[in-house]
Amino acid sequence: MKKWAGRVVQSEQAGLLLALVLLCVVLSMLSPVFFTAINIKNVLRDAALVAIAGTGMVMVILLGEIDLSVGSTQAVAGIVAVSVLNAFSSVMVAMGAALAVGAVIGLLNGLLVTRAQINSLIATLGMMAILRGSAMVSTGAVSIQGTVDGFIEVGTGHIGPIPIPVLIAFTLLILFFLVLHYTTFGRYVYAIGGNPQAARLSGLSVDKTRILVFVIAGSLAALSAFILASRLNSGQPNA
């Protein structure tokens, strides 16, 4: 226990953890409802959306790249999800469509970075503008309302006392922690991010790994978008 506590104190995240604890203490003193169960659930539900999309972004950053199109991906994926939902009256089909859109967007980003040799900052900045414009034009800048009963359960439902989005985020965090630290693919990500030229000379598939990571990031952004659309029961072009 002492060894574990010492590692926590010496870690780079110790300062952030201390700041979070202090912030929670101050907020609990300023507001009597901060530490209520309802507020904690709402905070966790909001944080879950960021955590899901952020998990993919972490992998992109570990590669030494960046993806600025995540927010616009959420807008497009949310619109597609609700449109497909209304057309087929199936939550699973809608989720599959959203994930497919996110994967395709991630694939395009990956190809722009690897095949076209465009800096990821520029490539994803352009993709961000294209996707946002497409979302606005296709909907007339008006949200699309979901018409299928049960859709909102994904974003607002619970399994026991825990919100479904929090369970999804927690599961993904554990999964990708294990992938990054205990799999060959995870070692590839760290190696390429540390020195892509050395990784290439060592025989690693640098471009394929980059593309796959962008696809994962796009898919997770779309999953976050699907949960957000479920929570609002609508697809928002300004998500």
DSSP state for residue 149 in the 8-state scheme: T
Please give the backbone phi and psi of residue 147, each rounded to the nearest 5 degrees, phi first: -120, 15
Residues 57-78: pLDDT tens digits? 999 999 999 999 999 999 999 9
Q: State how far the Cα of 190 lies from the Cα of 125, in Å rounded to an integer.
A: 24
DSSP state for residue 65 in the 8-state scheme: -
Query: 162 pLDDT exceeds 80?
Result: yes
Query: 5 pLDDT exceeds 80?
Result: no
Q: State how far the Cα of 196 lies from the Cα of 178, in Å rounded to an integer.
A: 22
Sequence-distant (6+) residues with CB within 8 A of 77 are 98, 99, 101, 102, 105, 221, 222, 225, 226
First to last CA, the chain: 43
Q: Report pLDDT for 224.
A: 96
Q: Report pLDDT for 20.
A: 87
Taking the CB of residue 126, how many other CB atoms lie within 10 A of it?
15
Confidence label for 214 from pLDDT (cuts 50, 70 and 90): very high
Q: Report pLDDT for 24.
A: 87
Q: Report pLDDT for 17.
A: 84
Which range of 37-51, 96-110, 135-149, 154-168 scores highest in mean pLDDT? It is 96-110
If you average pLDDT over residues 138-155, what whole number do you get? 92
Three-state SS at 118: coil
Query: 199 pLDDT exceeds 70?
Result: yes
